[in-house]
Structure 1
């Protein structure tokens, strides 16, 4: 694993040319200290509240997308992958109005980008934890682009914006990417690796030292995965919120939306 050598970028209301050039070259960028530790704790409180509500309701899907369930280090049932979270929580919804998010669509110019709060899977919250009954401790190599094909569309530029809620040095697992692969041809985008099945390390993969409050952005066409933690229990826990920035035709979802067929294959898999 190679650690990404990234300047200590901060995100303001407008991206600098240095930041745009870095992202264009690598397909990924880190903005340090996007939110404070107090804000991190506020978001975690709201996530726990939303989790309790959905577990009490027995909810299994949101807008057609299945939730992913598992158990924590105490054997308690948890939601390990939320979706459309900000549509069901006022604090999370208001958080997405931070004006700094409006700077990010410049990365997909000349296309017009927008925050997909009610598109794709909306605001996704991933709770990775390694326990005997966890269903979500890692994620195999993939890009985010084939979903466009499954929906009958051509592949359009998109961004996945991650707000990290736990400290996660590279040695504890976490995000891995193959920098520059966002510029690959269609054949490599679709066939360079076995989607979600391949968890193997790549000699060229890049890892990150992440701190709670950092924000990452990666191009949806970039090959990436989530490395499993070498630890178990609380020390392995990694919570991240992801919101997509989308281009192209708007396809909002609602409670009448059908489950995309690819979820029938993958949402019960134990990773």
Structure 2
């Protein structure tokens, strides 16, 4: 399935992407944003990152910031939650009405579908770099709906939408998914693999070969991981933003929101 179909995002979504998502639990859209917009976003990320480093911000809305070191020794943020709350440009970006065309993927019964810019972890920027000093080079198998379990809530329909800011080249690692696992039972959601500890390739996994400006979306119940790059240094750099599309009751987070137990161990993930 490495030659899975890529689509162009339209409103409404066409029959083919809807059927593909229902069966496999993920979609890949080409050229969601231009290369120029990608450059503007990456420049903005650098600005808000430097500001947080200078202010020694540890958490945003209870969610820890994951710091690391770049190839030049500069301190960087490698996992940046609620980043849109730090930037008018990013805040405006996630209000793009095209995101609403993805709402039908939640299902016909989804209540209050919305972009969760101030729920879950908000707009998260992941910055992977494979060096000896990096704190974020891979991520083990997991699903995104585990957060609902930690909140003591019923697992609700959720989408994780990725906006890719760098090209994913062969050998550079990147997103690996297990198609169809969004249909598993609750037992499969919780116990199919050891969460975050298991980095082993799966014979059924599919690697998404994205380019800067592409958009991907996967069901929150889908098992996925981020593979480590086989190259080192600058060539291994990957940046991607993720924002949740969610439904159900609102659960807005703020500066008084508690840090969940599993978030205390986030910095152990490398």
- Category of TM-score, reference length = shorter chain: over 0.9
Tell me, yes or no, if the aligned pair for 1:170 and 1:210 is still in contact at 8 Å. no
Q: Deviations over 1:6-50 (max 9, x none)?
A: 1x3111232111111111111010000000000000000110001
Cα offset for 1:96?
1.0
1:117 aligns with 2:93: no
For residues 109 and 23 of structure 1, the distance between their equivalents in structure 2, rounded to whole angstroms, comes to 11
Aligned to 1:248: 248
Aligned to 2:23: 25
Match of residue 105, structure 1, among 92, 103, 117 = 103
Query: What is the aligned residue count?
Result: 268
| Ranges of 4+ aligned residues in structure 1 off by more than 4 Å | none
Match of residue 16, structure 1, among 10, 14, 17 = 14
- SS of residue matched to 1:213: coil
Tell me, yes or no, if the aligned pair for 1:4 and 1:208 is still in contact at 8 Å. no
For residues 127 and 78 of structure 2, the distance between their equivalents in structure 1, rounded to whole angstroms, comes to 5
Aligned to 2:237: 237
1:218 aligns with 2:230: no
Q: Deviations over 1:36-69 (max 9, x none)?
A: 0000000001100010110111101000000001
Structure 1 residues without counterparts, runs of 5 or longer: none
For residues 57 and 149 of structure 1, the distance between their equivalents in structure 2, rounded to whole angstroms, comes to 33
- SS of residue matched to 1:51: helix
- SS of residue matched to 1:236: strand
Cα offset for 1:169?
2.7
1:81 aligns with 2:76: no
* 1:27-176 aligned within 5 A: 27-110=25-108, 111-112=110-111, 113-176=113-176
Cα offset for 1:170?
4.5
Cα offset for 1:4?
4.3
Cα offset for 1:171?
3.1
- SS of residue matched to 1:147: helix
- SS of residue matched to 2:182: helix
Question: Aligned-pair RMSD on alpha carbons?
Answer: 1.0
Q: Deviations over 1:196-239 (max 9, x none)?
A: 00000001100121100000000000000000000111100000
For residues 235 and 50 of structure 2, the distance between their equivalents in structure 1, rounded to whole angstroms, comes to 22
Aligned to 1:5: 4
Cα offset for 1:194?
0.5
- SS of residue matched to 2:13: coil
For residues 122 and 4 of structure 1, the distance between their equivalents in structure 2, rounded to whole angstroms, comes to 31
- SS of residue matched to 1:141: strand
Q: Deviations over 1:96-134 (max 9, x none)?
A: 121111101110122132100000000000000111111
- SS of residue matched to 2:79: strand
1:208 aligns with 2:201: no
Structure 2 residues without counterparts, runs of 5 or longer: none
